[in-house]
Amino acid sequence: MNPDEFLDAVRDDNETALSRLGSSKSLYAETEGEMDPDAVFRAAAEAEHAASETFQKWADDGDAAEAVREAFAEFAAQERDHYEQVVGKLDSDHEPSDTPAIHEYLRGIEDDAGRVGGFLGRTLASEKSKAQMVGFFVGQADPQTAQVFRDLGGDLEGQIERGTELLAEVCESDEDYERALEVASGAIQAAYDEYTETLEGMGVNPKPVC
Residue in 169, 167, 192, 191 with CA at minimum distance from that of residue 180: 167
Q: H or E element: which one contains 133?
A: helix 112-139
pLDDT at 208: 64
Mean pLDDT by 10 residues, the chain (210 residues): 91 96 93 93 95 98 96 97 92 82 97 98 96 96 95 94 96 96 98 95 76
Q: How many CB atoms lie within 10 A of CB 153?
A: 17
pLDDT at 209: 47
Residue in 112, 114, 123 with CA at minimum distance from that of residue 79: 123
- Distance in angstroms (rounded) separating the CA atoms of residues 191 and 5: 23
At what angle are helices 174-201 and 143-170 packed, to 10 degrees?
150
56 alpha carbon, distance to own chain's centre = 15
pLDDT at 205: 86
In the chain, the domains with their CATH numbers are: 3-201 (1.20.1260.10)
H-helix segments, 60-111: 66-87, 101-106
* CB < 8 Å & 24+ apart, contacts of 93-102: 94/42, 94/45, 94/49, 96/45, 96/46, 96/49, 96/50, 97/46, 99/50, 99/53, 100/46, 100/47, 100/50, 100/191, 100/194, 101/190, 101/191, 101/193, 101/194, 102/187, 102/188, 102/190, 102/191, 102/194
Q: Is the distance from CB of 20 to CB of 26 less than 8 angstroms?
A: yes
pLDDT at 66: 96
Phi, psi of 95, rounded to the nearest 5 degrees: -115, 115
